[in-house]
Amino acid sequence: MTPEFEVIEHATPAISKPTYLIVGLPDAGLVGSITTEFLIENYGLKEFGEVYSTKYIPPIMHVTDGIAKSPLRLYYSQSPGIIVFHAWTALPSNAIYPLAKLVVEYSKKYDVSKIISITGLPVQNRLEIDKPKAYWISNNAQLSVELEKTGLMEKFGDGYIAGPYAPILMESWRAGLDNFVIAVESFLDLPDPEASAVALEILSKYIGFKVDVSSLLQQAEEIRERIKGLMEQTKKELPSYTLGKPMTYT
């Protein structure tokens, strides 16, 4: 494993094939974080590992049922075969390249079929949009053809992607692993559960499981209030992720 991180597994997950690794890290609109947290809490994903780093993870512990744990943890579902990388805190910009390598190495360890990253696509007129659009970005031509055929999202086209998911695209391509990003129109610095609901619907159709996002939509305001602290942490890191550029733009 990547020497910058220590992964402690509390159990060995039994996962069916194909296996998908889903990455939910705090960035624009917390779209990825809200998506993976919803999966963890509503679809019986089991925690099986924690990631530690004195260099790259802030001195914060996430407390669950009175127990302090690493804020970067691993979860799984046996069927469909899903591994989730979920961060309960914002990560500093110097962590994103080492973390990308860790994601790729972990994908190899569990013979992952595809890495799926979920992010927000900040748009200025977000308040005027009832249901955000979703776009795909892939790391190779063959996967692009497959995603085009699904009709689940629009192709992102030409532009840039900055932030924590960019190095995962690069490192997975170097390793010969399929990786695509689901980018949903979102707010930049406000939690966007509605955008996460769109991502969840796409994810469920692609992987093949049933998802009911009604509770997510009904609790949108409650979620925004509950995770405003995480959004504040993330806002401080966003400029260093993007070097002054938008997170994702055409």
Retrieve residue 126's tokens: 């977000």
pLDDT at residue 56 in the model: 87
Tens of pLDDT, residue by residue over 107-137, are 999 999 999 999 999 999 999 999 999 999 9
For the cut 80, the answer to whether the pLDDT of residue 155 exceeds it is yes
Provide the pLDDT confidence category of residue 226 given band limits of 50, 70 and 90: confident
Retrieve residue 219's tokens: 């609790």
Q: What is the average pLDDT score of the chain?
A: 90
Q: In the predicted model, what is the mean pLDDT of residues 8-25?
A: 92
Contacts of residue 36, Cβ cutoff 8 Å, sequence gap at least 6: 22, 23, 24, 84, 85, 86, 118
Tracing tokens 């796409």 back to the chain, one arrives at 202
pLDDT at residue 242 in the model: 61
Tens of pLDDT, residue by residue over 172-222, are 999 999 999 999 999 988 899 999 999 999 999 999 998 999 999 998 888
Provide the pLDDT confidence category of residue 3 given band limits of 50, 70 and 90: confident
With b for 16 or more beta-carbon neighbours within 10 A and e for fewer, the 177-203 pattern comes to bbbbbbbbbbbbebbbbbbbbbbbbbb
CATH fold of 6-249? Rossmann fold (3.40.50)
For the cut 80, the answer to whether the pLDDT of residue 103 exceeds it is yes
pLDDT at residue 248 in the model: 57
| DSSP structural state of residue 93 | G
> What is each CA distance from 191 to 1, 34, 38, 84, 160, in whole angstroms?
33, 8, 14, 20, 22
pLDDT at residue 189 in the model: 87
Angle between helices 165-174 and 96-109 (to 10 degrees): 50
Domain spans, the chain? 6-249
Q: What percent of the chain has a predicted confidence (pLDDT) above 70?
A: 95
pLDDT at residue 216 in the model: 92
